[in-house]
Amino acid sequence: MDLKFKRVLIKLSGEALRGEESEGAPTLSARVLADLAAELKEIRAAGVELAVVIGGGNIIRGLDAAEAGIDRATGDYMGMLATVINCMALQESLERLGVPTRLMSALKVNEVAEPYIRRRGIRHLEKGRVVLLAAGTGNPYFTTDTAAALRAMELKAEALMKATRVDGVYDADPLKDPNARRFNRLTYMDVLRRDLKVMDTTAVSLCMDNQVPIVVFKLLERGNMLKALAGEDVGTVVGEIGTTED
């Protein structure tokens, strides 16, 4: 299979690690972690250099903590630590399959992760290691979407791949509106003008300024990542090409 991208950063939501179960779902789904690790192993075997950013929403979000009366900055740091937990879980699943990894954190947690250093991260990618990037940017008030965009620029990724619960970007929530229409391609300005919630505006603007495409696809469908890397139509591509709809 000919691949369109050879170095990518994949952004996963923390909620995705729960799986598709609803009430009473575990914080981390062993099945989802195993399936995700197997797919990442397949992508790496195809010669793709992989970096991964995971959110912490399955454990705690800074905004949720703030609503509970916790200072917003403190809540954001709690969320950053949640991403470390998620990265450790995925690291274990990957290494169980023989995939070499490095966990790098924007916060100092030396017992479990290396400090994030850009040049060292690039070197790990060049050596074929899957680089797991934890703790966001290391600063409160920034989302993991923004962290993913920033790290994609720093590590010279050719694309930012955003894994979601649905197969692309729609003009309405397809889980609630059966008439929602999926976009095949969007420009960065389409996303910003329409407020389509692909990623936060800072993340989209970073990708636009550096001309890094954003590929939005459904996570819990085996093989989608590899198909997206090959340029197949499995979601929505945000870039410099005009708007089209399926």
Mean pLDDT by 10 residues, the chain (246 residues): 90 85 71 94 95 94 83 94 97 98 98 98 98 97 96 97 89 86 93 91 96 90 85 88 55
**Residue 241: predicted pLDDT:** 65
**Residue 119: predicted pLDDT:** 98
**Residue 121: predicted pLDDT:** 98
**Residue 10: predicted pLDDT:** 97
| CATH 3.40.1160.10 assigned to 7-245 | yes
**Residue 130: predicted pLDDT:** 98
Q: How far apart are CA 217 and CA 224, in angstroms?
A: 7
Q: What is the pTM of this model?
A: 0.92
Six token digits for residue 221: 């469908």
**Residue 67: predicted pLDDT:** 83
- Render the burial of 109-146: b for 16+ CB within 10 Å, e for the rest: beeebeebeeeebbebbeeebbbbbbbbbbebebbbbb
DSSP state letters, 88-121 = HHHHHHHHHTT--EEEEESS--TTT-EEP-HHHH
**Residue 242: predicted pLDDT:** 56
Q: What is the pLDDT of residues 19-71, one digit of tens each?
A: 765 545 678 999 999 999 999 999 999 999 999 999 999 998 887 887 889 99
Residue 31 neighbours by CB under 8 Å, 6+ apart: 19
DSSP 129: P
**Residue 89: predicted pLDDT:** 97
Residue of 171, 162, 176 lying closest to 235 (CA atoms): 162
